[in-house]
Structure 1
Amino acid sequence: MDKMTFRRYLYYLIGVTTVLTLTMGCTGSDKRTEIRQPQPTDTVYTQKAAMAVYGYQPERALQIIDSAVIVGNLSEVRGDVNRARIYSQSQMMNQLDSLLG
């Protein structure tokens, strides 16, 4: 095999490899464009969000709890427990105000 024939085969091999690499890299599924299923943690209506604000915004915390139950992030029972906690916290502040004033 002379030098020219070897060089021609080498260029042919490099060309075929390049074309195959480019076509194989461009086909297939693009994971960024696949439809993502909604997850329960995608929403801001969670128990953690409600408990973060219930001390200074009890009405907002109750709205978050209600929304979390509607969306399905929180069970009815857990929602009732959290509502009772928020309500008792707000009543405690009113009781302290009445004791002081």
Structure 2
Amino acid sequence: MREAEEIFKAITSLNMKYGHTLVIKEDIEEERSNIEELPDINKRLAKCLCRLENIDGKKELALELLELHGVLVDIEWQYDQLHDIVRQAVSNLTEELEE
């Protein structure tokens, strides 16, 4: 999920360049905290994928697929949060251009 970190870095840099007018400080700080969770999510994903390779029974497979589902939900949420920040930046730019 290096891409998520790079997206956040780009948005943060642009926000600084434009005088912190694209995204409010609280949202940047909240997202920074979210980004710090990415290594743990990556570890969970790697472990899950490794375990999937070694499963023999359907019950174990079902449990592991549920775990994979949970990891994917966390990944999706991370990107959704980034998407919200991008939308906020576009909205603020649009308002500024209309003035």
TM-score interval, normalised by the smaller of the two chains: 0.3 to 0.5
Which one has the largest radius of gyration? 1
TM-score by length of 1: 0.38
Q: Tell me which of the two structures has the higher relative contact order, counting C-alpha pairs closer than 8 angstroms and 6 or more residues apart.
A: 2
The structure whose residues are more often helix, as a share, is 2
TM-score by length of 2: 0.38
